């Protein structure tokens, strides 16, 4: 089968419109335990003939709203996804892509990045993708993945 005829269905669960409940640490990687909780909206649609998708987000932060997109593409040869984040707050900068795949119903995606000049490993997890309420989590590690600080979660409900 050629690469052009293999289509990944890993993110099909996310197609459509969603109401999103966000929890985000007020400060990352400093031992903070205070969270901002806020709502949002999301819509995901396939692109690249099915081996990619765009997630368009409206985040209703306390005190300000902003838009961002997740851009995802699937490599048939590597059997993995790349996920980029692009925020309207910094519209000329794509975040370093996290790369990974789904195994046993869990999507795990990793990248090497930095926060305030400090090297970190970034991890995205997609959980409960076989339910009506999928979840996404972002965590960071400063010790190569020995320990993780979850700093953002999103709980999705169909709109």
- Residues forming a β-bridge with 105: none
Percentage with pLDDT > 90 across the chain: 92
pLDDT, one tens digit per residue, over 112-159 is: 999 999 999 999 999 999 999 999 999 999 999 999 999 999 999 999
Average pLDDT of the segment spanning 89-100:
95
Q: Which CATH number goes with the domain that contains 85? A: 2.40.128.20
Across the strands, what pairs with 123? Answer: 110, 139
* Separation of alpha carbons 96 and 112, rounded Å: 8
Q: Are 32 and 159 in contact (CB under 8 A)?
A: no
Residue 77 confidence (pLDDT) above 90: yes
Q: Is the pLDDT of residue 72 over 90?
A: yes
Cα–Cα distance between 45 and 52 in angstroms, integer?
Answer: 9
Residues 6+ apart with CB under 8 A from 93: 86, 87
Q: Is residue 65 pLDDT above 60, yes or no? A: yes
CB-CB neighbours of 15 under 10 Å: 13
Judged against a pLDDT cut of 70, whether residue 20 lies above it is answered with: yes
Structural domain harbouring 107: 3-158
Q: What is the pLDDT of residue 5?
A: 77
Give phi and psi for 144, each to the nearest 5.
Answer: 70, 20
Length of the chain: 159
Cα angle, residue 157 at apex, residues 155 and 159 outer, rounded to 5° = 140
What number of helices (H) and strands (E) belong to the chain? 0, 10
Token pair belonging to 62: 């306390």
The average confidence (pLDDT) of the chain is 95
pLDDT at 3: 55
Number of domains in the chain: 1
């Amino acid at each position: 089968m050629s690469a052009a005829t293999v289509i990944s269905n890993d993110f099909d669960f996310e197609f459509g419109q969603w109401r999103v409940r966000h929890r985000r640490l007020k400060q990352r990687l400093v031992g903070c335990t205070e969270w901002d909780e806020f709502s949002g909206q999301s819509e995901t649609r396939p692109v690249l003939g099915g081996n990619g998708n765009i997630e368009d987000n409206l985040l209703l932060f306390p005190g300000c709203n902003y838009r961002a997109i997740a851009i995802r593409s699937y490599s048939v040869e590597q059997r993995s996804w790349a996920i980029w984040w692009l925020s309207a707050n910094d519209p000329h900068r794509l975040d370093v892509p996290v790369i990974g795949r789904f195994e046993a119903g869990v999507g795990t995606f990793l990248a090497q990045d930095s926060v305030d000049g400090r090297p970190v490993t970034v991890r995205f997890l997609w959980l409960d993708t076989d339910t009506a309420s999928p979840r996404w989590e972002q965590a960071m590690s400063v010790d190569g993945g020995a320990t993780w600080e979850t700093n953002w979660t999103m709980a999705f409900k169909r709109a």
